Structure 1
Amino acid sequence: MSLHVSSELPMDGFVRAGTLAKVLGISVVTVWRWSAAGKFPKPVKVSGRVTGWPVADVRAWIAEKSNPTSQSASN
């Protein structure tokens, strides 16, 4: 998975699972599974039928995963 995708995300707001899957190169199901398992930020209910992830949370997750120091410290 390429974690240099932050330029493909909007600067702010929310992003939906399908967009995240495409940007991260994973399936939509994986986005939901990682969120449920605490491996990815939690989604937010934006409206009655729309759920999204805050872009700031996604960008922070990408930065954390891209930083080799934080990965070795968490293992």
Structure 2
Amino acid sequence: MHPQAIPAALANFDSLPDSALVDVKTVSAVLGRSPSSIWRDARLGKLPAPIKTGPACTRWKVGGIRAHLAALEGSA
């Protein structure tokens, strides 16, 4: 990944609508976890289920990621 991709993804995340779809790299950057951890947690139901938008394209709804972050803050 290009070094500027992560900061751009993080900078734009707060301005995205809840219905926007983001890729695993963006989810990884927002949560501060590796992509493999994101996939594992989604598979185990610890993260919102991703949406398959094509044969090789999977995305998460921004609203689901925000809800997950809010739940983490509530349990801390």
Amino acid at match of 2:48: P
User: Deviation above 2 Å: which 4+ runs of structure 1?
Assistant: none
- Percent of matched pairs sharing the same residue: 31
State the alpha-carbon separation in 2 of the partners of residues 54 and 62 from structure 1: 13
| TM-score, L = length of structure 2 | 0.71
Helix, strand or coil: the match of 1:33?
helix
1:11 paired residue number: 17
Specify which of 16, 22, 44 is matched with residue 29 of structure 2.
Answer: 22
| TM-score, L = length of structure 1 | 0.72
Q: CA RMSD in A?
A: 2.0
State the alpha-carbon separation in 1 of the partners of residues 68 and 30 from structure 2: 13
Corresponding residue pairs, total: 64
Helix, strand or coil: the match of 2:46?
coil
State the alpha-carbon separation in 2 of the partners of residues 15 and 47 from structure 1: 14
Question: Do 1:44 and 1:52's aligned partners in 2 also have CA atoms closer than 8 Å?
Answer: yes
- Which ranges of structure 2 fall in alignment gaps of 5 or more residues? 1-9
State the alpha-carbon separation in 2 of the partners of residues 50 and 28 from structure 1: 14
- Which ranges of structure 1 fall in alignment gaps of 5 or more residues? 1-5
2:4 paired residue number: none
